[in-house]
Amino acid sequence: MEQIGKQTKVVILTGAGISAESGIKTFRDNDGLWENHRIEDVATPQAWQRNPSLVWQFYQARRRQLTEVKPNPAHDALNELEQYLGDNFLLITQNVDDLHRRAGSSNIIHMHGELALLRCENCHEIFAMMEEHHLTDDYVECPNCDYDRLRPHIVWFHEVPLRLEEIYQAVEECDVFITIGTSGHVYPAAGLIDVAKSNGARCIGVNLEPPLNIDMHDEFYQGKAGEILPELVKKVVS
Long-range contacts of residues 43-50, Cβ cutoff 8 Å, at least 24 apart = 43/154, 43/156, 43/157, 44/156, 44/157, 44/158, 45/156, 45/158, 45/159, 46/158, 47/156, 48/151, 48/156
Q: CA–CA separation, 122 vs 119, rounded Å?
A: 9
Closest residue by Cα to residue 227 from 77, 85, 92, 95: 77
Using the rule CB under 6 A, give the single segment among 23-31, 46-54, 77-85, 129-137 that binds ligand OAD. 23-31
- Does 112 engage in binding with ligand OAD (CB under 6 A)? yes
**What does 70-125 look like in DSSP terms, one character per residue?**
---HHHHHHHHHHHHHGGGEEEEE---SSHHHHHT--SEEETTEEEEEEE-TTT--
The H or E element containing residue 43 is none
> Looking at 4, 10, 13, 17, which residue binds ligand OAD (CB under 6 A)?
17
Catalytic residue among 75, 100, 110, 112: 112
Any catalytic annotation for residue 37? no
- Does 69 engage in binding with ligand OAD (CB under 6 A)? no
Residues 128-187 that bind ligand OAD (CB under 6 A): 155, 181-183, 185-186
Nearer to ligand OAD, 118 or 142 (CB): 118
Yes or no: say if 114 and 153 are a contact pair by the CB < 8 Å rule.
yes
- Does 205 engage in binding with ligand OAD (CB under 6 A)? no
Each residue 75-94 as x (binds ligand OAD by CB under 6 A) or -, in order, gives -------------------x
> Looking at 4, 12, 42, 43, which residue binds ligand OAD (CB under 6 A)?
43
With contacts defined by CB under 6 A, how many residues of the chain interact with ligand OAD?
25
- Does 15 engage in binding with ligand OAD (CB under 6 A)? yes
Nearer to ligand OAD, 14 or 88 (CB): 14
- Does 225 engage in binding with ligand OAD (CB under 6 A)? yes
Q: CA–CA separation, 193 vs 190, rounded Å?
A: 7
- Does 208 engage in binding with ligand OAD (CB under 6 A)? yes
Nearer to ligand OAD, 71 or 226 (CB): 226
SS3 sequence of 47-77: HHHHCHHHHHHHHHHHHHHHCCCCCCHHHHH
Q: CA–CA separation, 157 vs 138, rounded Å?
A: 24
Min dist CB 116 to ligand OAD, Å, is 15
Hey, which residues are catalytic here?
112
Contact set with ligand OAD (CB under 6 A): 15-17, 20-21, 26-28, 39, 43, 94, 112, 155, 181-183, 185-186, 207-209, 211, 224-226
